[in-house]
Amino acid sequence: AQSVTQPDIHITVSEGASLELRCNYSYGATPYLFWYVQSPGQGLQLLLKYFSGDTLVQGIKGFEAEFKRSQSSFNLRKPSVHWSDAAEYFCASYTGFQKLVFGTGTRLLVSP
Amino acid sequence: NAGVTQTPKFRILKIGQSMTLQCTQDMNHNYMYWYRQDPGMGLKLIYYSVGAGITDKGEVPNGYNVSRSTTEDFPLRLELAAPSQTSVYFCASNPGTPKNIQYFGAGTRLSVL
């Protein structure tokens, strides 16, 4: 079965430092991949998506992600983290019939 | 610009009670979904619908029922609430191809005691 793995449960980054959140997927063909962010007590907001084409995709709030087929990865990056970026981040992939399978999430903590 | 609206936001149920979680979207999306979110588990798909009158089971459907009589509404029914159904429930909708993006509601936090 298709799956998405986020190996890091928690990550702490200093404000102003760079960020990389890891995501690995299992799927034979080119997957549809997403990153969502969830602030405390809120729903999920789409940061960016990859369907095809350029493997480096830009999203909202200064985030980007790079699709690497050879590594089955879709890591999320940001060059300089702000305190407001503290949230939980979910990587997800479509499995068919427009259904998403989610990773278990990575909680980002931002230290001053 | 309401998007996906879920009610109620919070609810406490006693074991064995029933309730319906409401979900409405005003974007005329064909696809709708119900997920549950448990700590450290990500989101799991309960049920989904590809259009009015058409529903199907997701990964964790046991203990739940759904209906889709209109494009806008996709209620989730819990018939005999159990403590294992304590969770945060999210509804989402998706216009389908070519956009293929799911839009989420703010969630319903349910406790079964």
A37, amino acid identity:
V
CB contact under 8 A, A104 and B94: no
Beta bridge partners of A21: A76
pLDDT given at position B1: 67
Asked whether the beta carbons of residue B100 and residue A105 sit closer than 8 angstroms, the reply is no
Tell me how close the Cα of A104 comes to any Cα of chain B, in angstroms: 4
Contact B58 A99 (CB under 8 A): yes
For chain B, 113 residues long, give each residue's pLDDT as a single digit of tens: 679 999 999 999 999 999 999 999 999 999 999 999 998 888 999 999 999 999 999 999 999 999 999 999 999 999 899 999 999 999 999 998 877 899 999 999 999 99
State the Cα–Cα distance between residues A76 and A62, nearest whole angstrom: 11
- 8 Å CB contact between B3 and B27: yes
Chain A and chain B share a number of CB contacts under 8 A equal to 55
Within 8 A of B45 by CB-CB distance, chain A residues are 99-101
The H or E element containing residue B92 is strand B87-94
Q: Looking at residue B41, what is its pLDDT?
A: 87
